[in-house]
Structure 1
Amino acid sequence: MSRRGDRPMVPRAEFRSYYGQPIVRPAPWTHDIASYLFTGGLAAGSALLAAGGQLTRRPRLRRTGRVAALGAVAASGYFLVADLGRPERFLNMLRVAKPTSPMSMGTWIFSAFSGAAGVAAVAEVAPLLPASFLRRVLPPAGAVAGLGAAAVAPALATYTAVLLADTATPSWHVAYPELPFVFAGSALASGAGVGLIADPVPATRRMAVLGAALELYGAHRIETTKGILSEPYATGRAGRLLRVGRALTAAGVAGAVLGRRSRVVSALSGLSLLAASAVTRFGIFEGGMASARDPKYTVLPQRERLAGRVPDGPPPD
């Protein structure tokens, strides 16, 4: 038996895997997917912004939200196809609808949202069209489509959180209760950012505060309550990105609340919230990838779970 103060004869164990390979294979995703996470959230938040402008009869807010939603969802489609490699792979996913698959459901959610957002945005050009029939038909069709896009927007904003948590990536999988809050809050904050640039009304400022609160709450929980699996979000590139995201979110909310009489301050706040949303999504993406590359984030949580299930002492006879 060793006495206190004795030097250990065996060096501290290092976490290694066969041939230096990760135990859990990192997701085969590039930064196109991180960009897809951001633009999808922006599209969802912009659609909600447009619906709010439509219901409160604010044409500038409605128009800006619809155009931003269409532009963002088009960018999302580009990033998704760029990661898939060929457009037909996306079309092939529409051949089935599997409720237990986040990717399958996400494909249908994305498609439904894209169609509604497209009709709503096209309706904004109705007054410029020469045909009187289209000038009469498009506005009511756009109103229905705009509300339809807003109805699908929460699912578009959060299904990617379910998609990440459904993988074996340790720090994504363990954060399944909080990731939807982060992604929903980020989507609201980015949509509010568009509104603060275009038409900084009180409702847009409240949207910014709500979105920032959800995002910061979820991110704080992920970074502090997951034991060792919180570590990838606090260190390295992911830690730097998430710290910058928090600072930009705080600056954006402060400007939205305090800069009520200044269009310049409101616009800068909107840009800050948009940047914060992008940086936060990239931080979450990087944190998960880092946890998959390091074997200790797979081994240690498994040992902790096993120690919690197995009682001390010799096995029963």
Structure 2
Amino acid sequence: MTTSAFDQFRPPEPERRGRRLGKLRRKKRPGPGRTDGSAEMLMVPDVEFESYYGHNIVKPPPWEWPVAAYLFLGGVAGGSGLLGFGAQLTGRAVLRRNARLGAMAAASVGGVALIADLGRPERFYNMFRTLKLTSPMSIGSWILGAFSAGTGVAVANEVDRLLGNRLPLGPLRKVLRAVEAPAGAEAALFAGPLAVYTAVLLSDTANPTWNAAHRDLPFVFVSSASLASGGLAMVTTPTRETGPARALAVMGVIGDIAAMKYMERRMDPVAAEPLHHGTPGQLLRWSERLAVAGGLGALLGGRHRAVAAASGLALMTASAFTRFGVFEAGLHSAMDPRYTVEPQLHRLAERRAAGITDDSITTAAPHWPSHS
């Protein structure tokens, strides 16, 4: 017979008639004169119950690396969309063009990665058949669609200008020019939600590590998006126009490191363990190192083209490592029941220490009504 730490809170069960110590008791066959049919025969063999220890309590999501790639590319697209809108407002034509192109490329490749994980393209289309406000995946699909629509219009104008107005647009060119600025603003409106909604998507699951980080993971992801998009602009754009990108990258580095440390401190220590061990731990440690190196390069040597490009690559790699590290840590935590059970025990002890004994978590022994 197995035991559990919760056995002390379970009310005693009355002994069932006809059973002793959990086993069925055979009644003697009716002897001479006993024909009342009260004999009981063992119809089911005794069952030896086993513990679930060692088996998954939470089913790991069937997600593979394309989902982690989508987490990263969504952040790049969202951050680049905001950066492109800022360049639009300040008259930085090259930065605006490169940020818009980067945003469109990241959103397109990210969409391909998402479809690859779904298995069939029509599943992605089916997400737009309804809008479910309680589903982060449904909301995120609409955010991605709205962002891509605005960015697509802005990018069409950029490509047309890049080719010397040679696209066969005809009278449509005037329409595109007229809606270019509103399209850039519309893309910027959905850029922030695009960069951060994937954090909500992860933490809205029963996965132990992701769920334990639900209060602070959005701040980690939005900071990661900032340093990634700033790094991309530093790689693709001449230094004379990358001042806003460098500033965004430095703020992203500070926010990313601070938010990650704060998140880990507020998580249950057991639920935070997968962030420090194995492959996720290595990815997140290298993410911090590359973020610091890239941030220092952007701050001290960002006006030199080679230093800016190297720093930008370091920042983008740091952002990718953050997303992949968090993703892998969550998958690992779902495979070990310890990361589900021990945080639950800790929460139970905290609530009992606070004097809470009458809710669904503490599960006080019920008071059975008496019948007169």
Structure 2-normalised TM-score?
0.77
TM-aligned CA deviation for residue 265 of structure 1: 0.3
Alignment of 1:1-317 (within 5 A): 18=52, 20-127=54-161, 128-129=165-166, 133-197=171-235, 198-200=237-239, 201-226=242-267, 227-310=269-352
The equivalent residue for 1:6 is: none
8 A contact 1:223–1:234 mirrored in 2: no
**CA-based RMSD:** 2.2
Tell me the amino acid that sits aligned with residue 214 of structure 1.
G
8 A contact 1:196–1:204 mirrored in 2: yes
Q: Deviations over 1:44-91 (max 9, x none)?
A: 111111111111101100000111111000011100000000111111
User: Which structure has greater helix proportion?
Assistant: 1
Structure 1 pair 57/310, CA: closer, same or farther in 2 (3 Å)?
same
Tell me the amino acid that sits aligned with residue 23 of structure 1.
I
Quote the Cα distance in structure 1 between the aligned partners of 2:366 and 2:322: 50
Tell me the amino acid that sits aligned with residue 102 of structure 1.
P
In the alignment, structure 1 segments of 5+ residues that lack a partner are 1-12
Structure 1 pair 131/112, CA: closer, same or farther in 2 (3 Å)?
closer
Q: Deviations over 1:279-301 (max 9, x none)?
A: 11000001111111111110101
Tell me the amino acid that sits aligned with residue 57 of structure 1.
G
The equivalent residue for 2:9 is: none
Structure 2 residue matching 1:124: 3-state secondary structure:
helix
8 A contact 2:230–2:249 mirrored in 1: yes
Structure 1-normalised TM-score?
0.90
Structure 1 residue matching 2:129: 3-state secondary structure:
coil
TM-aligned CA deviation for residue 142 of structure 1: 2.1
Structure (1 or 2) with the larger CA radius of gyration = 2
Quote the Cα distance in structure 1 between the aligned partners of 2:170 and 2:352: 75
8 A contact 1:106–1:159 mirrored in 2: yes
Identity of aligned residues (%): 49
Quote the Cα distance in structure 2 between the aligned partners of 1:261 and 1:42: 22
8 A contact 1:123–1:141 mirrored in 2: no
Quote the Cα distance in structure 1 between the aligned partners of 2:117 and 2:62: 9
8 A contact 1:229–1:291 mirrored in 2: yes
Structure 1 pair 302/19, CA: closer, same or farther in 2 (3 Å)?
closer
Q: How many residues align?
A: 303
Q: Deviations over 1:165-185 (max 9, x none)?
A: 000000100101111111101
Quote the Cα distance in structure 1 between the aligned partners of 2:51 and 2:198: 30
Bigger mean CA deviation after superposition, 51-60 or 119-128: 119-128
The equivalent residue for 1:4 is: none
In the alignment, structure 2 segments of 5+ residues that lack a partner are 6-49, 358-363, 368-372
Quote the Cα distance in structure 1 between the aligned partners of 2:323 and 2:187: 22
